[in-house]
Amino acid sequence: MTLHEIIDSSDNIVFFGGAGVSTESGIPDFRSVDGLYNQKYDYPPEEILSHSFFERNTEYFYNFYRDKMLFLDAQPNKAHLKLAELEKAGKVKAVVTQNIDGLHQKAGSKNVFELHGSVHRNYCLRCHKLYNAEFIKNSSGIPRCECGGLIKPDVVLYEEGLDNDTIEGAVNAISQADCLIVAGTSLNVYPAAGFIRFFKGKNFVLINLNQTPADSMASLVIHEKVGEVLSKLTVSE
Ligand code: CNA
């Protein structure tokens, strides 16, 4: 079956995506050749983006984070827009994302499970006051709340657990889907990558530029850009 035929014959599609969904919006991923893991820093990015590094070396964390993780001018690309259109048409029931950039919501998707949080929410560790991403982007050094407390992004750092309600919502959506589209993820980051095992439906579609550990499980594998692939679909209800 082609992707078009699969979409036509499904009415409970769940999309599970990663950083590769936003590269066509100009946000680098982690593991592509020009991704963050192939650039040179004083520490490996997994270490900088860990809970203990945030606590130990907060200023370095924030300099890296402002520079490499905050792309506030990025716009939704064809993948985000098509998924929002498919949700409106009743085809896509949920988007489960490992991304923290908020681009699915910006494109109009409503039922989005952000497994790793969002750069758009930041809160004071002392008084819990919320701050937006612009506040962090425009800050220098260590961003502090008006109460003097340290502000932390609502992003799941390495060594931190995922939010329970988000896990539950994502797992429920995946286990009820009749079609799962996994795209733009190397499926290397756990526990998120393990969630696709809850899928028990008919069609498992994998769209990724290069091979992934789940290629052999998929009923359809497409090694192309996800935005280009999805933009060719015409949506009928
Ligand atoms: P990853 O490990 O960097 O893998 C990305 C995958 O996408 C790679 O296999 C690429 O080949 C593939 N890819 C890149 N561009 C495209 C494209 N246009 N079409 C299809 N495939 C493409 O990223 P994962 O999401 O698997 O790793 C999880 C991390 C990355 C999560 O914790 C994220 O929070 C984190 N991350 C998020 C963002 C973001 O929010 N935009 C950016 C960078 C990293």
What mean pLDDT comes out for the span 53-79? 96
pLDDT at 237: 61
What's the half-sphere exposure (Cβ side, CA atoms, 13 Å) at 177? 32
pLDDT at 143: 98
- CA of 49 from ligand 1 middle (Å) equals 15
pLDDT at 167: 97
pTM of the full structure: 0.96
Atom nearest to 24 CA in ligand 1: 18
pLDDT at 200: 97
Contact of 47 with 207, CB cutoff 8 Å: no
- CA of 212 from ligand 1 middle (Å) equals 12
Contact of 129 with 147, CB cutoff 8 Å: yes
What mean pLDDT comes out for the span 180-200? 95
| Catalytic-labelled residue, pool 80, 116, 128, 223 | 116
Residue to substitute in 185, 188, 206, 230 for testing ligand 1 pocket (most ligand atoms within 8 angstroms of CB): 185
* Region class of 106: left (phi > 0), else alpha (psi between -120 and 50), else beta: alpha
Say yes or no to pLDDT of 35 above 80. Answer: no
- pLDDT > 90 in the chain, percent: 90
